[in-house]
Amino acid sequence: PMRPSSSLSSHSSYGAQSYQGTIKVSVRPRPLQTTAGNLTGNWNIDRVDNTISNHETGDFQYDNVFEPSANNSEVYADVVQPVVTKCLEGYNGTVFAYGMTGSGKTHSMQGSVDENGLIQLCAAELFRKLKSDFDAYKVGCSYLEIYNEKLIDLLNFDGSPVDELRIRDDPTFGVRVVGLSEHWVASEHELVEVVQKGDSARKTSCTDFNDRSSRSHAVLLMRVEMKQDSSTRHSTLCLCDLAGSEKASSQTERRKEGAYINKSLLALSTVIQKLSQGSFNHIPYRDSKLTRLLQPSLSGESIVSILCTIHLSSSTITETINTLRFAARAKNILMNVRRNEQQEPEKERYELLLKENQRQKQEIE
Ligand code: ADP
Ligand code: MG
């Protein structure tokens, strides 16, 4: 099979002002329950060609197909690290975990007691590089949840964590979440701490957390400003743990919340499909909160890397194939991303942005 042409690091050299490539798509199977080893059921995984196949489906090929035994550090190195590197050059970056409930999205993003997740690994590398490579830097952190098509600020510690936010398409600043709180974090430790606080807000605001987390999208935003000599760069890194991609199982579920969840994920799927066919007009970003929020990322303002998680057991084969098809479509999408670097009065933009933030806060109050 042909090798995929996309690799986040190969297309743009340092100093270039734009980056071109395709969306990077990686597939991570979780280990089968019966073993911690490398059993793959009826599936055949080739880590060298990055293919996954079974008798019925034939080969699927991606930028990465991990072994079930891969750990988060290995996944980080291939899925997130190249995005962090570009982020430090002034490109926006988006990583999202897509897959059915129980396939390992949260295990990947947040880790477990035994190992750090992609969020912690990303925070560690981000601050290590910021400290060593820049004269000055700032990192602002926001964390929100989309549940039943409502946006909830997970870091609004002063007010009620269930406040509903609105999305605005601002002519100067693009798509913004009005009134979303932002916390300055000075270290990896502070960043991780803020995220943990957000997660506990998420847990306490609902009665059945597992159920809720499988139906909601968690979106972590890290806004980075960097200064080196006379050059200022800024970028936003977005890490999303999406809702379970499976179809709602019961009628009541579908009527209740499934309808909304499907609305966001269905919209994402439609948007990915249209973009993968090379069409750029009439993309239905406005059909859901998730696609509105991700619109700048998906329409070329951000380098995108998707982690598709799958469960190889035979009982989930339909969902696994659905995820692999979604992943295959996403792989075709071309990105042409601008670099955010200015040689001085960049400050003005931030002063404007701060003022606009304050104005919007007052407007809400
Ligand atoms: P999701 O967030 O996609 O619903 P989780 O990340 O919560 O799924 O994973 C479901 C269960 O499977 C959890 O108990 C998790 O610890 C376990 N798990 C998932 N992926 C892995 C993996 N790669 N290695 C070990 N355990 C995993
Ligand atoms: Mg989860």
User: Half-sphere exposure of 175 toward its Cβ, with a 13 Å CA cutoff?
Assistant: 17
- pLDDT tens, residue by residue, 201-247: 887 767 777 777 888 999 999 999 999 888 899 999 999 999 999 87
* Binding-site residues: 99-106
> Of ligand 1's atoms, which has the minimum distance to the CA of residue 71?
23
Establish whether residue 117 lines the binding site of ligand 1, counting it when its CB lies within 6 angstroms of any ligand atom: no
What was the pLDDT predicted at 12? 38
129 alpha carbon to ligand 1 midpoint, in Å? Answer: 30
Give the C-alpha separation, 29 to 45, whole Å: 10
pLDDT score at 5:
38
Take residue 365 and report the two structure tokens written for it: 């109050």
Ligand nearest to the CA of 244: 1
Where are any strands of DSSP class E within 312-362?
Answer: 334-338, 341-342
Separation CA 72–CA 113 (nearest Å): 12
* Residue 357: CB atoms within 10 Å: 17
Q: Are 16 and 339 in contact (CB under 8 A)?
A: yes
Cβ-proximal residues to 181 (8 Å cutoff; 6+ apart), any chain:
142, 153, 155, 156, 157
Secondary structure E strands in 122-277: 136-147, 150-153, 164-170, 174-178, 183-184, 217-228, 231-241
Ligand 1 contact, 217 CB (< 6 A): no
79, containing H or E segment? helix 72-79
pLDDT per position as a tens digit, 264-273: 888 999 999 9
Distance 309 CA to ligand 1 centre (A): 9
Give me the phi and psi of 60, to 5 degrees please.
-115, 135
Atom of ligand 1 nearest to the CA of 72: 23
From the alpha carbon of 108, which atom of ligand 1 is closest?
6
Query: Residue for token digits 């925070």?
Result: 123
| 133-162 pLDDT, tens digit each | 999 999 999 999 998 889 999 998 877 655
Q: Is 122 exposed, middle or buried (0-12, 13-18, 19+ CB in 10 A)?
A: buried
Question: Is pLDDT at 194 greater than 70 in this prediction?
Answer: yes
Q: In this model, does residue 248 exceed pLDDT 70?
A: no
Determine whether the shortest distance from the Cβ of 102 to ligand 1 is under 6 A: yes
CA distance 217 to 305: 17
> To the nearest whole percent, how much of the chain has pLDDT over 90?
54
In this prediction, residue 19 carries a pLDDT of: 87
Q: At what angle do helices 118-133 and 81-88 cross, to 10 degrees?
A: 30
User: Which one-letter amino acid corresponds to residue 137?
Assistant: Y
Annotated binding site for ATP: 99-106
Nearest atom (ligand 1) to Cα of 99: 3
- Give the global pTM: 0.87
Helix (H) or strand (E) holding 305: strand 303-311
d(CA 307, CA 25): 6
What value of ipTM does the predicted structure carry? Answer: 0.99
Q: Which ligand is nearest to the CA of 209?
A: 2
For ligand 1, say whether the CB of 103 is within 6 Å of any of its atoms: yes
- Residue to mutate, 107, 114, 119, 323, ligand 1, most ligand atoms under 8 Å from C-beta: 107
